[in-house]
Amino acid sequence: MTGLAIFDFDGTLVDSQHAIQACMEAAFASENLPPPTLQQTHRIIGLPLAQCLARLSPDSDEAAVMRLVEAYKHEFHALRLQPGFVEPMFDGALAALDALAAAGWTLGIATGKNRRGLDAVLGSHGLHPRFATLQTADSAPGKPDPTMIFQAMEEAGFGPENTVMIGDTVFDMAMARNAKVRGLGVSWGYHAENELIEHGAERVLADFADLLPALAR
């Protein structure tokens, strides 16, 4: 079997948690607010940025949340300009993408990142040519709304019976379930295995080497 394999980005292909946390801390400091812990940040990675910050600062009004959004964006842009800055790919990610492409799979991304941020990371790793469809928070509602998957399937020319969503959070698995496609969880990201199963994961992979066999069922 081959088809469309849609990947989440942060926590699935790229380990961006420390960069995200650093920018969260700076954004909250700009508003004289106590910063979220890394564990709290893990809980919201994958959602659109404004939703993330609203959840992390529930007592802030809409205007304050938007100031946090702008401060976060400013910090991340400045961080990317620092010499040597990189959001590292997880071990085995590149080899897994190569193996899927060689086996005939079409690859896509569905992420809560905005397109500018996604393009920056893809460009730093030379990954743009590998993906037939890139879905971001700029062009669709956030997870777990299924619109990103619907748009990816339309753009790449596949139906739900030939599409799988691969991700590390409950938002990814719920989005897959809402789109009526297969959902595969990964254990190296930011949400626990039991949570992924509870939200619809068909199974949770322990290693990128398990991905191609899991898809070829």
Percent of the chain with pLDDT over 70: 100
Model confidence at 171: pLDDT above 90: yes
Averaged pLDDT for residues 1-15: 95
82 φ/ψ angles, rounded to the nearest 5 degrees: -70, 135
Architecture of domain 17-80: Orthogonal Bundle (1.10)
Helix runs in 126-182, H state only: 147-156, 170-179
Question: 173-195, pLDDT tens digit by residue?
Answer: 999 999 999 999 999 999 999 99
Averaged pLDDT for residues 96-103: 96
Q: Span 4-15+88-215: which CATH code?
A: 3.40.50.1000
Averaged pLDDT for residues 59-86: 94
Model confidence at 1: pLDDT above 80: no
Across all residues in the chain, what is the average pLDDT? Answer: 95
Domain ranges of the chain: 4-15+88-215, 17-80
